Amino acid sequence: MFINYEHNTHVYNVTVERRDNKFFITYDNNEYTVNAIEVKPGQLSIQLGDRAIKSVISEGEDSKFVFIDGSIFKVKRIELTGRKKTEKKEGDLNSPISGTVVTTKVKQGDQVRKDDVILVIEAMKMESSLEEIGRLVEARGFDGR
Amino acid sequence: MFKKVLIANRGEIAVRIIKACQEMGIKTVAVYSEVDRNSPHVQIADESVNLGDPTPSESYLNIAKIIESARNVNAEAIHPGYGFLAENPDFAKACADSGIKFIGPTPEVIRLMGDKIEAKKTIASANVPVIPGYHGVKQDLSTLIKEAKKIGFPLLVKATAGGGGKGMRVVHAEAELEQSIESAKREAKSSFGNNSVFLEQYIDKPRHIEFQILADEHGHVIHLFERECSIQRRHQKIIEETPSPVMTKKLRDEMGTAAVAAAEAVGYTNAGTIEFMVDGKQNFYFMEMNTRLQVEHPITEATTGVDLAKWQLRIASGMELTLKQNDLVQRGHALECRIYAEDPSNGFLPSIGTLEKVELPIGPNIRNDTGVETQFHISSYYDPMLAKLTVNSENREESINKMIWALSHYVVLGVTTNISFLKKVLEHPEFRKGNITTHFINDYFKDWLVTKEGLPMDAIIALAVYDSLHPQRQEIVRYKEADPHTPWQHVGRWRMGR
């Protein structure tokens, strides 16, 4: 079984074969043979040689969350069907949080430079400027809503 | 003692207070907004009242609705928790006017301490040192700019009615001044309904050290030692500890005496906290007084053995403080981490989503205060703090190691959290040495990223194992086509449970 995982824009191509509790995993030309069981839903106990890997995995709407030794990784499983990933269009600026727009610092058609504040959003009682959220590499205008 | 108390709050603090009440045999009433219908605080309370619309001003900040709820259920007292209406003198007054006991100080004291300018004047008159600054009533931009230049840079713009870092800006140069003042005023207006600000000299190598106070309604005031709260991001504390690594017996005595004097000067009652700024030369200055139970109160409870929430209830019901200053001792060391749904590698922006899994670390001297659970949805309506993790040990080093262990076993999946960030802060050599200031995060973690190295091999292995244990539908179809003898051929329609 071939699987592609995407994490922070990097894609990891993995193959896995299963025979009972034995799993044969190939990644980056390395083969790993592990014994694993799902102790309870999402909680895995994996034995790799003399080392134990303890992991908790849960499924979100479109991605999985992997807990390993106090760190959490958000990973998306993707299908590589020959077509390239759609690149973000120039001028797109998405806010990662939802909230109330307090002020807009620019209007449609304005020239803005990198690090300029576009608008200020208030969510969870904290004000955040959109320049903090994403750096504007290049922008030609602001499509005001 | 009260028979029934309404808790005008949500999340972990509501849960904590409800538990204290229940231990004391007091019936509890939770209030909740529409999005909190299934929250833990609603589930554990004896009764609950729906406040409707989740917008804070329509729910947890709505004085009329909360007073009416308390009357309808015949609650004798209201505990406000922290945040929301906890430091709102109008709310305390409205409670008094309705014959409901507000669990906290009097409306007059809240009003006085809530006005940071008047608070400083009053406290200074009790011979407690304060930081130089402009605390005038003239709030026009040109006056503020003129006064700012007099104080010099860097300086602090702070909401007069503020708290918790809201409505606060550090200005490093004149060029940033105007925008900072405007932004602070807006944030102050939306958070506290008052856009008045003050200016203050910015202290070098500042530590934020506060003293816990308990005062009864019979004139007894005691302090329960200090809490070091210097580790902050966006001017909000994320790690607190007691004792402070910088504290000496002499400084503790001086600050404790000043804290008690400050509380006495305003006729303070119930639990409160005097916040001080301590500079690199161990000078201390009064910053503000928080007229409520603090978020970080568990570390004081862990080292003194005193239950602050229960004392709040006892004091409010008119009981005398039986704790004597000389009988109080600090034992060992305690550390608290605030678990936030936020992204430390992206400016600590709040993270929204459904908690797919929550598993808390359990062990000796590990305390979890939490108001969320698996399947709880984190919305943008309220503060993104999910829970608090408190540990205590014989000494600071053991506490740090225990906390690192606990954080490593803290599972919250579904939203981005600050857990691995907290761990990195605790592991930092300067933190371990106790060399901390309120600039610590900015100094050492400014451009911190969770995963510089990408996905670790262990995570890839775990994912591969998980996905072959939980094949997707199209893979099952593929197996069927590949192997006519597979048992999948015979199972029919089914789905994997989550």
Q: How far apart (Å, rounded) are the C-alpha atoms in residues B117 and A40?
A: 56
- Dihedrals φ, ψ of B200, to 5°? -150, 145
User: At a CB cut-off of 8 Å and minimum separation 6, what does A104 contact?
Assistant: A118, A119, A120, A142, A144
Q: Measured between alpha carbons, how far is residue B460 from residues A56, B204, B359, B392, B465 in Å?
A: 12, 46, 22, 35, 9
| Model pLDDT, residue B194 | 87
| Model pLDDT, residue A145 | 35
Residues of chain A with pLDDT under 50: 83-89, 132-145
Q: How far apart (Å, rounded) are the C-alpha atoms in residues B149 and B127?
A: 28
pLDDT tens digits for range B33-64? 999 999 999 999 999 999 999 999 999 999 99
Same domain, residue pair A72 and A101: no
Task: For residue B292, indicate whether it is catalytic.
Answer: yes
Q: Does A78 touch chain B (CB under 8 A)?
A: no
Length of chain B: 498
Same domain, residue pair A129 and A64: no
Question: B4-103 adopts what CATH topology?
Answer: Rossmann fold (3.40.50)
Write the DSSP string, A6-64.
Answer: EETTEEEEEEEEEETTEEEEEETTEEEEEEEEEEETTEEEEEETTEEEEEEEEE-SS-E
Q: How far apart (Å, rounded) are the C-alpha atoms in residues B454 and B20?
A: 44
Q: Pairing between strand B221-233 and B236-242?
A: antiparallel
CB-based burial label for B117 (10 Å; 0-12, 13-18, 19+): middle
Q: How far apart (Å, rounded) are the C-alpha atoms in residues B83 and B14?
A: 11
Tell me the shortest Cα–Cα distance from B211 to chain A, in angstroms: 26
Would you call A65 and B419 a contact, using CB atoms and an 8 Å cutoff? no
Domain membership flag for residue A84: no
User: At a CB cut-off of 8 Å and minimum separation 6, what does B263 contact?
Assistant: B213, B215, B221, B272, B274, B289
To test the contact with chain A by mutation, choose from B236, B355, B455, B470 the residue with the greatest count of A C-beta atoms within 10 A, namely B455
Overall number of domains in chain A:
2
Q: Which of B166, B411, B461 is opposite residue A56, by nearest beta carbon?
A: B411
Same domain, residue pair A130 and A97: yes
Q: How far apart (Å, rounded) are the C-alpha atoms in residues B24 and A128?
A: 43
Amino acid at B409: H
Which residues form the domain of A98?
A: 90-145
Residue among B466, B230, B136, B10 at smallest CA distance from A3: B466
Length of chain A: 145
Q: Which of B384, B416, B454 is opposite residue A10, by nearest beta carbon?
A: B454
Write down the pTM of the prediction.
Answer: 0.81
Range(s) of chain B covered by CATH 3.30.470.20: 207-444
Same domain, residue pair A6 and A73: yes
Enumerate the residues of chain B whose CB falls inside 8 A of the CB of residue A132: 347, 349
pLDDT tens digits for range B301-358? 999 999 999 999 999 999 999 999 999 999 999 999 999 999 998 889 999 999 999 9
Residues of chain B with pLDDT under 50: 498
Contact B464, A25 (CB under 8 A): yes
Give the architecture-level CATH label for domain B207-444.
2-Layer Sandwich (3.30)
Domain membership flag for residue A66: yes
Same domain, residue pair A17 and A71: yes
Contact B467, A3 (CB under 8 A): yes
Six token digits for residue B95: 């409670």
Same domain, residue pair A8 and A70: yes
Residue among B280, B236, B241, B234 at smallest CA distance from B446: B234
pLDDT tens digits for range A30-45? 999 999 999 999 999 9
How many degrees, rounded to 5, is the angle at CA B377 between CA B376 and CA B381? 130
Same domain, residue pair A99 and A42: no
| Model pLDDT, residue A143 | 38
Domain membership flag for residue A103: yes
Same domain, residue pair A8 and A42: yes
Same domain, residue pair A133 and A70: no
| Model pLDDT, residue B452 | 64
Contact B23, B310 (CB under 8 A): yes
Q: Which of B349, B420, B463 is opposite residue A72, by nearest beta carbon?
A: B420
| Model pLDDT, residue A134 | 42
Would you call A55 and B462 a contact, using CB atoms and an 8 Å cutoff? yes
Enumerate the residues of chain A whose CB falls inside 8 A of the CB of residue B455: 5, 7, 10, 12, 73, 75
Chain B residue with Cα closest to A32: B461
Same domain, residue pair A125 and A69: no
Q: Does A56 touch chain B (CB under 8 A)?
A: yes
Look at residues A78, A104, A134 and tell me which one is the last residue of a structural domain: A78
CATH number at residue A102: 2.40.50
Q: How far apart (Å, rounded) are the C-alpha atoms in residues B18 and B16?
A: 6
Residue among B63, B36, B56, B64 at smallest CA distance from B48: B36
| Model pLDDT, residue B496 | 55
| Model pLDDT, residue A128 | 61
Enumerate the residues of chain A whose CB falls inside 8 A of the CB of residue B347: 128, 132-133
| Model pLDDT, residue B497 | 52
Q: How far apart (Å, rounded) are the C-alpha atoms in residues A33 and A51?
A: 12
Tell me the shortest Cα–Cα distance from B369 to chain A, in angstroms: 19
Would you call B455 and A32 a contact, using CB atoms and an 8 Å cutoff? no
Same domain, residue pair A67 and A129: no
Structure-token match 């554990």, residue found: B44
Q: Does A76 touch chain B (CB under 8 A)?
A: no
Q: How far apart (Å, rounded) are the C-alpha atoms in residues A1 and A22?
A: 14
Same domain, residue pair A14 and A69: yes
Enumerate the residues of chain A whose CB falls inside 8 A of the CB of residue B380: 97-99, 123-124
Domain membership flag for residue A83: no
Select B132-201's CATH number: 3.40.47.10, 3.30.1490.20, 3.90.550.10, 3.30.479.10: 3.30.1490.20
